[in-house]
């Protein structure tokens, strides 16, 4: 056959095959969508995202505060939950640290859930989501997965490195999550932290300047979504100026309209305008300047509507005025900002009517008997449509947005074999290259707020550390030993402080390094409201307030006795205002988490990127190049402490 003719036939045949495949694909999409729009119950199920953090057989229930509760982590998918996913056509699942043990286990769990979803009537993939912000909020095991130092650390690097670390963290988080089978990440956090007493956001924010937050947030979001993981901008319309945690109460923001537009809304608007915003999470916060209408709570009180329940905010503002056409997901509906005022079904109906597309964690499934709850809730939602309490057209409009977004989920993970997915994840999760970026961020984000010839610490000095707990004692002590073995290091653990012994060690030292973590650990870091409900008896001898008082007393003692004193803020740098008079140096790390690394059967290292970087700074191996992305007036301002003795202190 004539070669040009043969080539022409090949081109035509290839084009026909391509067109047929596109037609078949489009036909499959249309068929799936018709199943959603032709079945109200399936459509409603797609609008629910459940957490499966714990799941128990009856003999596994334990008694906590007089209640039978489940605290057995779900790490494998039992047949009854696989059947629930398949039979209900549920739209999404959120996983927490308790669900996540190892690369192979996580990949297997996510794969099994997706196979159950694909066997459902709709055949649609699940949204499998996670809160993997980095820093304070990271659910995956830090010893296996790259976790980074968090957003405020990134903000501290921008003056020198621009958007580099926002882009790199977004890329790496996206690569690793996609490899593990996650397709939705509830990040980045684009709240503008303008309140130094904010108990739940603080270092989860990039900083206090809206333009900086907008730029870094969009850069991180774009990089993550390029790896096939959908990002969630949160918490709309802004959680940056609250002094109440919406996990435990209902915050209120009284900003005037100009500030709301130019500060709180700006990062969301920027991402929308750039075409990057695909999902936005609501905040359980009252914004009376945006909506001052009220509702009657379940306890009989009259309250201003929180944003999650406000049509003016979620529909009129977000969709109509700001032009957002993506998916709106609620923050967890079991948080006190909602659950104290609504029962689960009413909460779902109210937020759907306001404009939300997905209800996150509206109720709990913890044992086999609870599986019926999902069916009962769907029954009640169907009845709400029949009664006119919920608009059928609105449900279908919402499901169209969900369907459109799910079509953007890459098919690699679900189409591969389980073995191939595990092998791929093993090759990309927590690689040396990723860890090197994590190390660079930890080092380049360090901020030296003050240094009166205290750093670097001279060789052969006796150094006493005052650390929040034993794990952090070990992490910094081991890091300093590895960096400069000529220093003589001792450490006091504030959780189990022996004041007399610490007093003696301070008096014997040449240098005292004191480190603190405030505000206390929030429910967002632990995982959610359920952790606050199920806190066991604490083991520390001192309350948080007492620990802070002892730390101040010991640092003051060291200063009065001419010791070199160094204070390190391991979380929110605002706390420096309480320690600057007694400190020759002030350092901010924005990060405090530790994890164990087993070197051998007899050798385990406690470490964390922030502690390795801090050790290098203290011993003169590196210099601090970060700049504070928030304002701290160490001369005039004295912050009040947010003491919350429900802190489990296991961070």
Query: Where in the sequence numbering do the catalytic residues fall?
Result: 331
Please tell me the distance from the alpha carbon of residue 251 to that of residue 243, in angstroms, as a whole number: 7
Helices 544-560, 499-508: inter-axial angle, 10-degree rounding: 30
Would you say 247 and 523 are in contact if contact means Cβ atoms under 8 Å apart? yes
Gap between the terminal Cα atoms of the chain: 73
The Cβ of residue 269 has, within 10 Å, a number of other Cβ atoms equal to 20
Would you say 206 and 251 are in contact if contact means Cβ atoms under 8 Å apart? no
Please tell me the distance from the alpha carbon of residue 29 to that of residue 403, in angstroms, as a whole number: 9
**Strands (DSSP E) found in 431-510:** 447-451, 462-467, 488-493
Phi, psi of 265 (to 5 degrees): -85, -20
**Which residues, listed in sequence order, are joined to residue 236 by a DSSP beta bridge?**
282
* 107 burial level (CB within 10 Å; 0-12, 13-18, 19+): buried
Query: Can you tell me which residue has the tokens 């100026």?
Result: 241
**Which residues, listed in sequence order, are joined to residue 281 by a DSSP beta bridge?**
329
Would you say 96 and 132 are in contact if contact means Cβ atoms under 8 Å apart? no
**Which residues, listed in sequence order, are joined to residue 597 by a DSSP beta bridge?**
605
Q: Which helix (H) or strand (E) holds 360?
A: strand 359-360
Which residues lie closer than 8 Å to 186 by C-beta, 6 or more apart?
94, 129, 130, 131, 132, 133, 232, 234, 281, 329
Would you say 364 and 51 are in contact if contact means Cβ atoms under 8 Å apart? yes
Query: Can you tell me which residue has the tokens 């909506």?
Result: 291
Angle at 51 between CA 218 and CA 324, to 5 degrees: 30
The tokens describing 466, both together, are 């005052």
Tell me whether strands 184-185 and 230-236 are parallel, antiparallel or unpaired. parallel
């Amino acid at each position: 056959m004539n070669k040009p003719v043969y080539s022409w036939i090949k081109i035509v045949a290839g084009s026909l095959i391509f067109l047929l495949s596109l037609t078949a694909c489009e036909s499959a999409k249309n068929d799936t969508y018709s199943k959603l729009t032709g079945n109200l119950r399936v459509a409603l199920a797609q609008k629910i995202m459940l957490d499966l953090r714990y799941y128990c057989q009856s003999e596994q229930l334990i008694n906590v505060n007089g209640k039978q509760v489940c605290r057995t982590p779900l790490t494998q998918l039992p047949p009854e939950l696989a059947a629930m996913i398949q039979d209900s056509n549920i739209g999404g699942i959120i996983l927490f640290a308790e669900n996540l043990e190892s690369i192979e286990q996580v990949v297997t769990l996510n794969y099994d859930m997706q196979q159950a979803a694909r066997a459902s009537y709709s055949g649609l993939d699940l949204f499998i989501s996670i809160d993997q912000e980095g820093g304070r909020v990271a659910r995956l095991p830090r010893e296996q997965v790259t976790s980074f130092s968090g957003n405020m650390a990134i903000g501290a690097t921008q003056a020198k490195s621009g958007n580099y670390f926002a882009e790199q963290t977004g890329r790496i988080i996206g690569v690793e999550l996609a490899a593990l089978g996650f397709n939705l990440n509830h990040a980045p956090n684009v709240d503008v932290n303008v309140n130094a007493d904010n108990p739940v956001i603080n270092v989860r924010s990039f900083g206090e300047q809206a333009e900086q937050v907008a730029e870094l947030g969009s850069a991180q979001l774009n990089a993550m979504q390029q790896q096939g993981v959908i990002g969630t901008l949160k918490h709309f319309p802004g959680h940056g100026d609250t002094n109440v945690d919406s996990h435990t109460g209902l915050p209120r923001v009284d900003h005037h309209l100009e500030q709301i537009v130019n500060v709180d809304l700006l990062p969301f608007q920027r991402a929308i305008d750039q075409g990057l915003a695909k999902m936005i999470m609501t905040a359980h916060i009252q914004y009376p300047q945006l909506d001052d209408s009220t509702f009657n709570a379940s306890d009989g009180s009259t309250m201003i509507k929180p944003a999650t329940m406000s049509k003016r905010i979620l529909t009129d503002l977000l969709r109509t005025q700001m032009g957002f056409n993506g998916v709106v997901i609620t923050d967890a509906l079991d948080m006190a900002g909602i659950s104290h005022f609504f029962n689960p079904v009413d909460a779902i109906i109210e937020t759907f009517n306001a404009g939300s597309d997905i209800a996150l964690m509206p109720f709990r499934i913890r044992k086999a008997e609870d599986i019926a709850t999902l069916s009962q809730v769907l029954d009640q939602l169907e009845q709400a449509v029949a009664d006119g309490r919920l608009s059928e057209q609105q449900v279908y409009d919402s499901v169209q947005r969900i369907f459109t977004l799910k079509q953007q989920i890459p098919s690699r993970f679900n189409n591969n074999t389980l073995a191939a997915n595990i092998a791929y994840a093993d090759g990309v999760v927590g690689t040396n290259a990723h860890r090197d970026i994590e190390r660079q961020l930890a080092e380049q984000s360090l901020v030296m707020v003050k240094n009166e010839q205290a750093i670097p610490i001279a060789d052969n000095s006796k150094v006493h550390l005052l650390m929040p707990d034993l794990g952090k004692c070990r992490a910094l002590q081991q890091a300093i030993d590895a960096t400069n073995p000529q220093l003589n290091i001792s450490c006091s653990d504030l959780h189990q402080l022996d004041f007399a012994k610490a007093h003696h060690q301070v008096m014997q030292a040449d240098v005292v390094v004191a480190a603190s973590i405030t505000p206390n650990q929030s429910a967002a870091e632990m995982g959610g409201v359920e952790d606050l409900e199920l806190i066991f008896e604490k083991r520390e001898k001192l309350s948080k307030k007492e620990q802070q008082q002892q730390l101040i007393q010991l640092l003051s003692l060291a200063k009065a006795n001419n010791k070199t004193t160094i204070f390190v803020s391991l979380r929110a740098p605002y706390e420096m205002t309480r320690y600057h008079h007694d400190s020759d140096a002030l350092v901010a790390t924005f990060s405090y988490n530790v994890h164990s690394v087993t070197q051998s059967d007899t050798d385990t290292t406690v470490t964390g990127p922030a502690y390795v970087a801090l050790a290098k700074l203290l011993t003169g191996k590196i210099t601090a190049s970060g700049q504070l992305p928030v304002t701290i007036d160490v001369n005039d301002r004295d912050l009040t402490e947010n003491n919350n003795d429900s802190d489990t202190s296991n961070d």
